[in-house]
Chains A and B, each alone.
Chain A
Amino acid sequence: MPIKEIDLNPQIRYLSILDEKGHLDKDLEPEISDDLLLKLHRTMLLSRRFDERLLSLQRQGKIGTFGPIKGQEASQLGAAALLEDGDWLVPSFREMAAEIWRGKALENVLLVYGGYNEGSIIPDEATFLPVAIPVGTQILHAVGIAYALAYEEKDRVAMVFFGDGATSEGDFHEGLNFASVFSAPAVFVCQNNHWAISVPRSRQTRSRTLAQKAVAYDMPGIQVDGNDILAVYAAAKEAVERARKGDGPTLIECVTYRMSVHTTADDPKRYRKEEEVESWEKRDPLTRFQKYLKEKELLSEEKIEGLESEIKDEIKKAVERFNKKAESYKDSLTMFDHLLAELPDYVQEQKEELKRELDEKKQTG
């Protein structure tokens, strides 16, 4: 019997529009309004500085462990920029920039990392989920939301972020598979930052790209320069439009780099070389975006200085609000809040036990 070639169309494109030297491919340059470009830049700069501030606060013991986003601003903002009202953002734990873009308050980021349950509050109108820590599990939630959006004929999409490590988890495969079977309006954005704590991307999978995993699910997959906000934007635009039209999900692999630590409890010197980090410094998404914007005459050194100063002040005020709120959140009994719609009687009794314990502690000082 003659052997049949089954055509899977396994070609994966790599998209780069604004390279690390700031060279622009004008043919591929996406149309983005000046207003949107400046907003994106401001959020990128704000996230970078806020991230630095968070790290310093953690070193001072003012907040706890968290995962810095340094270097990954473009790969999350470029994609989140496509979300409109009613679209959903499903983060993992390294999407602080995308969350801020979608309206998460800086002091709420501080409160959660500071260990205050009360900081977990998400505003009623917000269509984003809280930070998800178990790797890859949030992918399924996004698929469920996407299914529900299509079920209610909403032409809205659910965009979910996860890392290279997550692509080894079962939930990644189950999620892409499920979304593909039902053509759910989901956009899967993999932030391939090359490191899952100390395990390099090459150990995560033999696949030459992560994007090609989409082929297995008969889903479009694309690999982009994750530090090129224009390429991320262009790929995400296509993916979001595809999902909105009802043509199903897409996998976008953003090739980026985790410039900082996995979390503040990590020491990267134990497993990676400084030269590698330095080589990626040259590919910083922020500097090349600033170069592009300067060439478009939307930014200048003075304007950037002005923004830096504005942002410093914004962060300062957020830290002040955080401190003030943290002071007011001293009631440990709030740990019993939001377990179920109503607290069962015997759990209420346990709350009263704790109350007595805390009252005694106060009395004996």
Chain B
Amino acid sequence: MQKLNLVQAVNLALKQEMEKNDRVVVLGEDVGVDGGVFRVTDGLIDKFGEKRVIDTPLAESAIAGVSIGMALYGLRPVCEMQFSGFSYLAFHQIESHASRLRGRSGGRFHVPMVVRMPYGGGVRALEHHSESREVYYAHTPGLKMVIPSTPRNARALLVSAIRDPDPVIFFEPKAVYRAFREEVPEEEETLPIGEPQIVRKGKDLTLISYGAMMRPALEAASKLEEEDGVSTEVIDLLTISPLKHETFTESVKKTGRAVVIHEAPRSFGPGAEITARLVEKSFLYLEAPIRRVTGFDIHMPLFQKELDYLPGVARILKAARETLDY
């Protein structure tokens, strides 16, 4: 089986869906001739032409709004925000219309569009290029918010996102873009949206995470096993919204202890929602407070300090051990 990195895996998903369905179109800044600033859409314009792989003017609201129009008509636009930090110009269109048109039209219209965005830190980028604001989208009813963590699941989730009848915000962890390669089958593969996965089974502690934080989470789980003899269950959310909590609420009923890990700032972050659900559903099983290992309630600093901002294995281990010792 071929080994692909996340960039190549997303490229494969786009290529195959565009081959399968003439109505899938790609649009965004630099996605065509340049193949995308991260090369995620590389080669698509040569295969599918400039009517289907569209280099747009520099206008994020237009990218989103035009995609909405295309989707209302019946195309399947996969648009790109060059960085999640620039998507706020498009947010108005997404919240005010993409998330609402199904309801507003009594089901006559729906908006089957995908908005892809690189998100998150760890690549020594400029200001605005390392944000993790998934909650803005997760907090908007009528959208789906998907965050893959590996090449294989990114490919499978993107295919599902393109086929989804509703708007899907697809955050790609840029720190993982070229971090590693994984076997990705050439044959079509999908993963259902809204289904977290248990990626490591265990019985003493539950780690809940997603995106680029899955690697330090899994590394911490290994260390806990080697060094502490602790058996850790690790859950990859894959979909932030709709948030299906059973995977983690049932896990914590088994382990009694939970640590949530995300890059996004702590307060009002996804960890807060996960904590609330755990308290609602698994309260009597909790042996320790639920811990959140997160970015701080500040903007991501310029890159010299980003590794001190981002949660890493050490920070996760500390919180895990404190939870186990409680």
Contact = CB atoms under 8 A, between A and B. Distances in A.
Interface of A: 88, 117-118, 120-124, 126, 129-130, 132, 134, 137, 139-149, 151, 158, 170-171, 174-175, 177-178, 181-182, 337-341, 344-347
Contact of A171 (B61, B77, B102, B107): B61
Contacts of B103: 117, 120, 337-339
A174 B166 contact: no
A144 B245 contact: no
Interface stretch (B89-97, B295-303, B312-320): B89-97
Nearest to B97: A137
Contact of B67 (A144, A149, A170, A346): A144
B128 interface: no
A122 B109 contact: yes
Contacts of A139: 65
B110 A341 contact: yes
Contact of A175 (B25, B62, B109): B62
B270 to A, nearest CB: 14
B65 A144 contact: yes
Interface residues of B, number: 48
Contacts of A132: 97
Given A126-B108, A144-B73, A149-B73, A345 B244 contact: yes
A231 to B, nearest CB: 28
B40 interface: no
B7 interface: no
Nearest to B77: A144
Nearest to B67: A144
6 contacts: A124-B108, A140-B62, A141-B68, A145-B70, A147-B69, A339-B142
A360 B92 CA distance: 38
B74 to A, nearest CB: 7
Contact of B245 (A148, A339, A346): A346
B146 interface: no
Interface in B89-132: 89, 92-93, 96-97, 101-110
Interface stretch (B9-17, B51-59, B220-228): B51-59
Given A122-B108, A129-B109, A338-B102, A178 B72 contact: no
Nearest to B143: A340
A132 B108 CA distance: 15
Given A118-B106, A122-B108, A178-B56, A140 B93 contact: yes
A122 B243 CA distance: 31
Given A171-B62, A340-B166, A346-B245, A144 B108 contact: no
B62 A340 contact: no
B108 A140 contact: no
Contact of B242 (A124, A148, A182, A347): A347
B69 A339 contact: no
A140 B102 contact: no
A139 B59 CA distance: 14
Given A175-B65, A338-B105, A341-B164, 20 more contacts: A117-B106, A121-B105, A129-B101, A130-B109, A134-B92, A140-B61, A140-B66, A140-B68, A141-B65, A141-B97, A144-B66, A144-B70, A145-B70, A147-B66, A151-B51, A171-B62, A337-B103, A338-B107, A340-B142, A340-B166
Contact of A140 (B52, B69, B75): B69
Interface of B: 25, 51-52, 54, 56-57, 59, 61-62, 64-75, 77, 89, 92-93, 96-97, 101-110, 141-142, 144, 164-166, 194, 242-245
Nearest to A119: B106
Contacts of B52: 151
Contacts of B104: 120, 130
Given A137-B93, A143-B65, A177-B59, A120 B71 contact: no
**Complex A-B, nearest 9 residue pairs according to Cβ-Cβ distance, in ascending order:** A144-B69, A140-B65, A121-B106, A344-B242, A174-B62, A148-B73, A141-B69, A144-B66, A122-B108
A363 B211 CA distance: 48
Nearest to B167: A340
Contacts of B57: 174, 177-178, 181
A123 B108 contact: yes
Given A121-B105, A130-B105, A338-B103, A141 B72 contact: yes
Nearest to A131: B104
A339 B19 CA distance: 30
Contacts of B89: 170
Nearest to B70: A144
A122 B92 CA distance: 24
A74 B194 CA distance: 50
B247 to A, nearest CB: 12
**Most chain A beta-carbon neighbours within 10 Å: one of B72, B92, B110, B194:** B72
B141 A339 contact: yes
Contacts of B96: 134, 137
A169 to B, nearest CB: 9
Contacts of A337: 103, 106-107
**Most chain A beta-carbon neighbours within 10 Å: one of B51, B97, B166:** B97
